[in-house]
Amino acid sequence: MNLFPPPNTPFWLRNGNAETLFAKALQGKPPVYRRELLPDSTGQTQVAYDFVDAADPDAPLVVLFHGLEGSSRSHYSVELMKAVQSRGWHGVVAHFRGCGGIANTAPVFYHSGDSAEIGFVLNTLAQRYATVYAVGVSLGGNALAKYLGEQGDAALPEAAAAVSAPVDLAAAGTRFDKGTTRLLYTRYFLDSLIPKAEAFAHFQTASPLKNCKTLGDFDDLFTAPLHGFADRHDYYRRSSCKPFLKTVAKPLLLLNAVNDPFLPPEVLPTPADVSDSVTLLQPPHGGHVGFVSKDKGRLNIEWLPRTLLDYFSRFETR
């Protein structure tokens, strides 16, 4: 049984692609962030941490790990950080290497299975804040959930949430390689990723990245060899968080809309796939990080941050 009611999705947005795309149009003005540039886990580049600070220094911190080519300006980041501010908590969007407008000078990029970077960021923040809650969205959600499964009781967050995580990367890859998902999203991501990869001094390839037609092509040519995987299939197998969900020990809200166009519904986790610490929330509608709701006659994307913060509030000790 779901602990939280689903969003009141308008009937004309109950197509996963429509809701995914429309949600961006409902984004409000970003909060005023305080940016810090801090080392990544390699110590060879800096990454951007965009903070919103609470008046109470002892308030909890919510850290957000964004999705593929996301940032603190992504619609879900903006709305979550505004909700964190309203609740009187601290918040931060921790950018992956090369995101948020900061050049990557490390010998590696970022990817869906980079749980080591997740752990490094959480350890950095845990030295400043007594209570840390973590949210991962899409790629960031997969990496966060994998970290939680790997670390078990040693995981640092008091509680966490993974939103629209591609828990089975091979299945998600099939969506991106064909059909409507490829048509609507693949070129959008490649147009952002390829210039970064082409400018990456640590990577040389005889085959031009501009020839990539799918994200699978890009992962075969760039992501996999750069990070020590044999090919994209090896990368997807070893990086998917789904096999790690049975060993999650800290509270985790795993939120996936059934109509997410990035992930076939038949691969969504069931109770048999997860530990008792994982709460599955799978509303029928929501798209990929859409979750548009109509409340009091107004369309909004406030359901997601409200649900996440209400979940974390269950574990407050202060």
Active site residues: 138, 260, 288
CA distance 213 to 271: 36
CA distance 173 to 219: 10
Residue 11 sits at φ, ψ, to 5 deg, of -60, -30
- Smallest CA-to-CA distance from 248 within 270, 278, 226 is with 278
CA distances in angstroms from 192 to 101, 109, 226, listed in the order given: 12, 14, 18
At 34, which helix (H) or strand (E)?
strand 34-39
Q: Which residues pair with 300 in a beta bridge?
A: 293
- Angle at which helix 75-87 crosses helix 303-313, to 10 degrees, equals 50
CA distance 199 to 201: 6
Write the DSSP symbol of residue 100.
Answer: T
